[in-house]
Amino acid sequence: MRFNTSHHLTKAVEALALEGFAGPDARRKDTWESSRLWQRLRRLGTKLWLDTGDLKAASQRWSTEFEALTTNNTLLNREVQKGIYDDYIAETLSSSSVLRDLDRRQRIIELALILNARHGLRLVERFDAWVSVELHTDLADDLEGTIWYGKRLFQIYPERFLIKVPLTPAGYLAARRLSEAGVRVNFTLGFSARQNYLAAMLAEPAFVNVFLGRLNSFVTDNDLGDGENVGEKTLAASQGVVTELRELRSLVTQQIAASMRAGDQVTALAGVNVMTLPVAVADDFVSSEVSSEELVPLSDRQFPVALEGGQPEAAVNTLWEVPPSFRQVTAAMLDEPLEDYDADDLQAFFVERGLGGLFPEWSEDDRQVICEDGKIPSYPRWADRLHSGDVALDALMSISGLKQFAADQQALDDRIVAHFS
């Protein structure tokens, strides 16, 4: 879509987002306690983040070993639906002629950006922490829109903001341009080692993710096995290739373990670069009273996976495999005129080299099925295409996650629109 990109709009929105922001409260640092258990994880090289936008819940679990919080469309929507921003939305709409003069769609996106920034700044004030803030899901396939809004959101508070960009063809290219511009990108909705290898090589974001809990759920929910270690094995493989690229090519990208579901996963994944922990998972880990001997580096562990039947195995194996052929294609891509590429060009490049399943051309019927399935796809619906390679499991999981975020974004948008006159 076309946007009003005036400098006047940019500065007005930035001022609205920052209104009343006093900066981190240094006095609060003395109120947070330290934990020997979290210290052990830090000594193994793991940075600790909380995966919540709930200030009260985060305050009850925060300790000096934590350094960031993550929000997303779902987590922000939960806070907005509490009504805590209703008065602010109404007052902003009544007082800002700049917003009133925009068309309806851009007005919604601008207000969503403001809410992302304002809530992120509240977290910064409380915890003096880095905060991942996410773009509107309408921008996921919009290369120029993602770049423009990503830069703007980052510049509201570059001292503490990380910008989440979703894993789509446009997202890969936008992340590259944003990283080149000095924006710290958290490249989200990753589900395989090869997706993250490609992201690190192409875009060099600050962070990449594996949503490991959703991978385990895909196997269990579809009765393909017990689900044990699917996400963990994928995460370990992705950490391996990301570490390799940092060492061999001096890239900066770090690996996040996301979508964690239980405290024992914290123990199993000790040593991963970053864990972003839902409060319930952090509480579960603390209550487990893990000993020092049980906390061993991720690289020292094995993650066996058992699947039922032979057919799903080929699809699932793609999650942790980064074969030489894929590395060669990625290397060849870096020789392309990427500054001139759009999302269609990136898709075509991989299709021509036999990797079209990584970037499928989703039909409207496909998208409808994905929305009906929710964040965990139905294997029977997709089995034939997964088996043929027409669709890859990592790609399917990424778009399923994006559509789920989009549903929550729509709920947030509806809350905004309720204040339109």
Catalytic residues: 164
- Residue 63 and residue 32 in contact, taking contact as beta carbons nearer than 8 Å: yes
Distances (CA, A) of 355 to 10, 347, 359: 39, 9, 8
- Phi and psi at 208, nearest 5°, equal -125, 165
The answer to whether the beta carbons of residues 301 and 229 sit under 8 Å apart is no
DSSP code of residue 225: B
Radius of gyration, alpha carbons of the chain: 21
Q: How far is CA 379 from CA 282, 398, 399, in A?
A: 31, 15, 15
Contact 128, 25 (CB under 8 A): yes
Pairing of strands 254-258, 274-277: parallel
User: What is the distance between the alpha carbons of residues 192 and 190, in angstroms, rounded to a whole number?
Assistant: 6
33 vs 50: CA distance, rounded Å: 15
The answer to whether the beta carbons of residues 177 and 340 sit under 8 Å apart is no
